[in-house]
Amino acid sequence: MTLLVVVGKSSDLLAEEKRPNIIFLMTDDQRWDNMGCYGRPEFNTPNIDALSRAGVTFDKAYYAVAICMPSRVTMLTGRYNSSHQVGFVAPTNYTLSQADFHKGYPALLKESDYRTGFIGKVGFTVTKEAIRPSTQKVHNYKEHMGEVFDFFAGSETHDRNGIVMWPENDPGLKEIFKEGRQNSGRTLRTGEAMLRFLDTQPASQPFCLSVSFYAVKHDQNRDVFWPHYEQFKEHEFSVPDNWVEGDNEELPAVVKENARGVPLHRQRSSTPALYQKLVRRFATQGYTVDEQVGLLMSKLEEKGILDNTIIIYTSDNGRFQGAHGLYDKCLLYEESAKAPLIVYDGRVAKEKRGFRTDALVSSVDMAPTILSLAGVKIPQKMQGKDFSGILNQTQDLSNWRDAVFMEDLFLVDMFNARGKDDLDEANEKLINANMSYRSHGIRTDRFKYFVYYEHTPKVEELYDLENDPLEQHNLVDDPRHSAILKKLRQKTEKIYLDISN
């Protein structure tokens, strides 16, 4: 997202220049290193790799929260989970109010005369007022989101249970999502709807299209496009050194005894055969997404608008795939909390394209950066930082942030209790029984610190990621690191107080 329009110009000057088109591509549960440009070419992602070579690739991007519902709301609103309170479990289990939805980047771009579109998995519910629980059975997308999106083809979790779409009379959308259509997978349908949006785009208006792929989540037969599986079916994927066969006795007891990722690992990723089975299927889904990225680039070039289009590629959270003896996500280890992030800007001269950066960025930065690139004022309520200066290399990195904040507010026992009457009481019981593994922490350029803060006594983890990138050696009890431990502990609490007030 490098700029022809330099950030800092007056609004009058911005209005005189051609505003960029913005396409925000988000996958579901795609681990940061499951692609060639992040060091694992065995995943075969040639189009994403080409996007990386022609864009800006972030090597230290992190999720402010690493589970789908709150992560998506964080990227939409530019606010931390502890601020927007949208999540799966009490006490942070509110829907997103229409008022807050209208302060997100799509609504603000719509107000600035952008044509807006959304395709794919929504993953959260918008209601007139914020209400509990967040997991509503009826979503009323048109009623609550219709003013913001001009073009919409979405659903809650997957499109096989039906898609809500508008314009309702669009023949292309009707054909793409007609019941019983053959030779069509969920990712192919999403890609076709993405191209349909571009085919219906007026030449005279800038657009912002948000595409939320259902892949690479799940590895059931119905979610894999099997023609793409052939290239991977015999491949033996590399196994990271922190993958654990069976149970991991080194995990903190509060995690080992209570976190969902432990039993899920036993079921899905705890043997070499299980690991290979699921990674082959995730690689297949990643390849199918990659194919849509290639089709997107070709369509933009065909329509003559690639040179005025910004493309952002990321995911909503990572996944362990057996690392640390865990499946699932949420917890603040790298496999869950580190994000792939690639930004391509067609306006940038070819000789200035293609670099990587170690700047610390957060998913909470997504909304303010998108607004900045479009020349739209960033609301004061947004808590993220505008990283467009990193993209156009005008940002003095010595004045950039020195840490990103991350949090995990999910408890599987509270998720399983979501139908009960008094969820706040159930939450207190879990905390009092020392079963809470809610955590928060920070990642600096070198270290990561996080704490399970509702446990008594608090359980802490500290890693030197420069020397221990797989987080195998907890340094909390190492006296040589007592000073950095104290510093990061204090910094974590300060950031938490700032974002939650």
In a domain, 45, yes or no: no
Tokens of 240: 């990271």
pLDDT of residue 17: 67
In a domain, 6, yes or no: no
Q: Are residues 386 and 423 in the same domain?
A: no
Q: Are residues 99 and 225 in the same domain?
A: yes
In a domain, 307, yes or no: yes
Can you tell me the distance from the alpha carbon of 331 to that of 262, in angstroms, rounded to the nearest whole number? 11
User: Which residues, 6 or more positions from 246, have their beta carbon under 8 angstroms from its beta carbon?
Assistant: 266, 270, 325
Q: Name the residue among 81, 90, 438 with its Cα closest to residue 255.
A: 438
User: Which residues, 6 or more positions from 454, have their beta carbon under 8 angstroms from its beta carbon?
Assistant: 431, 436, 437, 438
Q: Are residues 391 and 421 in the same domain?
A: no
Q: Are residues 235 and 316 in the same domain?
A: yes
CB 337 within 8 A of CB 450: no
Domain end, chosen from 404, 421, 453, is at: 404
pLDDT of residue 10: 37
In a domain, 153, yes or no: yes
Can you tell me the distance from the alpha carbon of 312 to that of 154, in angstroms, rounded to the nearest whole number? 19
Q: Are residues 272 and 178 in the same domain?
A: yes
Q: Are residues 415 and 480 in the same domain?
A: yes
CB 96 within 8 A of CB 136: no
Q: Name the residue among 281, 274, 175 with its Cα closest to residue 225.
A: 281
Domain end, chosen from 347, 373, 404, is at: 404
Tokens of 451: 């704490």
Count each helix (H run) and each strand (E run) in the chain, helices first.
18, 18
Q: Are residues 149 and 183 in the same domain?
A: yes
Q: Are residues 236 and 375 in the same domain?
A: yes
Terminal C-alpha separation, the chain:
31
Range of the domain at 459: 405-500
CATH code for the domain in which residue 453 is found = 3.30.1120.10
Q: Are residues 148 and 163 in the same domain?
A: yes
Domain end, chosen from 404, 430, 449, is at: 404
Mean pLDDT of each 10-residue bin along the chain, 501 residues long: 36 59 98 97 98 98 98 98 97 97 98 98 97 92 97 89 92 92 88 98 96 94 93 97 97 98 97 98 98 98 98 98 97 98 96 95 98 97 97 95 98 90 92 98 98 98 98 98 98 96 76
CB 327 within 8 A of CB 321: yes
Q: Are residues 139 and 252 in the same domain?
A: yes
In a domain, 48, yes or no: no
Place of tokens 């571009």: 198
In a domain, 303, yes or no: yes
Q: Are residues 286 and 413 in the same domain?
A: no
Strand partners, 343: 56, 312
Give how many domains the chain has, as a whole number: 2
Q: Are residues 222 and 334 in the same domain?
A: yes
Can you tell me the distance from the alpha carbon of 414 to that of 370, in angstroms, rounded to the nearest whole number? 34
